[in-house]
């Protein structure tokens, strides 16, 4: 796969994978013999963004974020999964301390490479309007001088309601769109950017997805960036709220046959170039 940064004409689309340390990638993505310490350097020159899963499970210190910043190209972006201690709780309204601990952990050392923060909720977490709004009110708009953008990865069917969408829009938080059949999937827009996590890659496909499926995702990205809504996706509400405006798109190949994720991201990047 050739380097793709700087070659994507659709600069408003970020295409990437989840993480960069994965054993099966060492025999089909990374060059043979590449030192593990150079994997981020290599991966960040093949895709245009990476979603970091490790921040969901563990705390990292400022020097680590600074190191990630320094090892990646100038126009690269990291999306960070926020700490599970903030989202995996009975009462979300009590998450303030955990939210602050994560946001203040040094993430702004990423500088302009800090992308959206993903708040992922358990599949068993049902929508409680009052408690969920209390949580959203705790999410900071800034850390220092850095504006923060938030993404809500809700996984219980009860969130598929206009009441949830209204709250997400009120707090200008994006809602994850996923193609996974095990989670509720809705493409309604709740922020000025789109965040998609594609989780249905197939080990039998050379690039994880069939060519026609990748063509469709490329078309969807172009529609999103132009301010439209792809007609083939599922919605709770038909039609976008507010005026039509261009948007940034973050689209990650995350799960399924994960060994195919880099090939799928590369194939989509080529279609957008």
- For the residues of 235-266, what is the DSSP string, one character each? -SSSS-SSS----EEEEEE-SSSGGGHHHHHH
Q: How does the average pLDDT of the chain come out, rounded?
A: 93
- Residue 204 falls inside a structural domain: yes
Lowest mean pLDDT among 8-22, 155-169, 219-233: 8-22
Q: Mean pLDDT, to the nearest integer, of 151-175?
A: 97
Q: In this structure, are residues 56 and 83 in contact, taking their beta carbons and an 8 Å threshold? A: yes
- Residue 5 falls inside a structural domain: no
Identify the band that residue 2 occupies on the pLDDT scale cut at 50, 70 and 90. Answer: very low
- Residue 233 falls inside a structural domain: yes
Q: How far is CA 179 from CA 7, 52, 71, 81, 199, in A?
A: 27, 20, 31, 19, 6
Residue whose C-alpha is closest to residue 40's, from 78, 10, 7, 14: 78
Q: In this structure, are residues 176 and 193 in contact, taking their beta carbons and an 8 Å threshold? A: no
Q: How many domains does the chain have?
A: 1
- Residue 2 falls inside a structural domain: no
pLDDT digits (tens, 9 = 90+) for 209-261: 999 999 999 999 999 999 999 989 999 986 555 557 889 999 999 988 999 99
- Residue 261 falls inside a structural domain: yes
What pLDDT score was predicted for residue 9?
Answer: 44
- Residue 206 falls inside a structural domain: yes
What pLDDT score was predicted for residue 143?
Answer: 96
Residue whose C-alpha is closest to residue 257's, from 197, 183, 207, 185: 207
Domain at 135, CATH number: 3.20.20.410
Neighbouring C-alpha atoms within 13 Å toward the C-beta of 81: 23
* DSSP designation for 216: H
Does residue 4 register a pLDDT over 50? Answer: no
Token pair recorded at residue 129: 């309007």
pTM: 0.94
Structural domain range at position 209: 13-272
């Amino acid at each position: 796969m050739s380097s793709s940064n700087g070659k994507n004409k659709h600069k408003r689309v970020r295409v990437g994978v989840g993480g960069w340390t994965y054993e099966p990638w060492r025999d089909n993505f990374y060059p043979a013999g590449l030192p593990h310490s150079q994997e981020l350097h290599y991966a960040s020159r093949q895709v245009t963004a990476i979603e970091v899963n490790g921040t969901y499970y563990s705390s990292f210190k400022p020097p680590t974020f600074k190191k990630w910043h320094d090892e990646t190209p100038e126009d690269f972006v990291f999306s960070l999964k926020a700490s599970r201690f903030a989202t995996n709780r009975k009462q979300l309204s009590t998450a303030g301390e955990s939210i602050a601990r994560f946001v203040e952990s040094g993430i702004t050392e990423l500088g302009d490479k800090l992308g959206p923060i993903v708040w992922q909720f358990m599949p068993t977490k049902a929508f409680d309007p009052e408690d969920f709004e209390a949580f959203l009110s705790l999410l900071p708009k800034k850390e220092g001088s850095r504006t923060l953008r938030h993404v809500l990865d809700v996984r219980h069917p009860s969130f598929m309601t206009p009441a949830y969408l209204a709250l997400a829009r009120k707090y200008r938080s994006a809602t994850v769109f996923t193609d996974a059949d095990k989670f509720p999937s809705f493409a309604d827009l709740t922020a000025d950017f789109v965040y998609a996590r594609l989780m249905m890659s197939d080990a039998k496909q050379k690039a994880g997805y069939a060519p026609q499926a990748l063509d469709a995702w490329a078309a969807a990205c172009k529609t999103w960036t132009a301010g439209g809504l792809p007609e083939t996706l599922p919605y709770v509400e038909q039609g976008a709220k507010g005026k039509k405006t261009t948007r940034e798109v973050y689209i990650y190949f995350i799960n399924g046959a994960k060994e195919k994720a880099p090939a799928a991201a590369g194939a989509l990047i080529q279609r957008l170039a």
